[in-house]
Amino acid sequence: MKQMTTKEAWKSDLIMATWNVRTMLIPGKMQEINKEMMKYKIHIIALYEILRQGQSSIDKPDYTLLYSGSDNRPAGNWIYDKTMKRNQLDFEPQNM
């Protein structure tokens, strides 16, 4: 894979999406989402109703999942591809 220069990165398209996944507690759900990300060349997806509790991140070779939520307030659920990983400076979940 060719490494992009900063100038090329600013010219490239950023594709974002939303997805109501209903739950990510089903085995294979993260792989399904990753497969769809690669199929449609999506960089960042805002996820709804993932039903994971707590705040954390899950790093995989092709994607990273960031989540923050509780029983009564799911919020802040994002998954992004490996090309976006170098752009993440920090992840500090907020419990609202």
8 Å CB contact between 18 and 45: yes
pLDDT number for residue 4: 57
- Measuring CA to CA, which residue among 88, 35, 58 is closest to residue 77? 58
In a domain, 30, yes or no: yes
pLDDT number for residue 93: 65
In a domain, 39, yes or no: yes
Domain of residue 30 covers 13-61
8 Å CB contact between 21 and 33: yes
8 Å CB contact between 81 and 37: yes
What's the CA gap between 48 and 62, in Å, rounded? 20
In a domain, 56, yes or no: yes
In a domain, 57, yes or no: yes
Q: What is the pTM of this model?
A: 0.72
Q: How many domains does the chain have?
A: 1
In a domain, 38, yes or no: yes
In a domain, 51, yes or no: yes
- Measuring CA to CA, which residue among 80, 30, 34 is closest to residue 50? 30
> For each of the chain's 96 residues, which pLDDT tens digit applies?
556 565 555 556 888 999 988 888 889 988 999 999 999 999 999 988 887 777 788 888 889 888 877 666 655 688 888 888 777 777 766 655
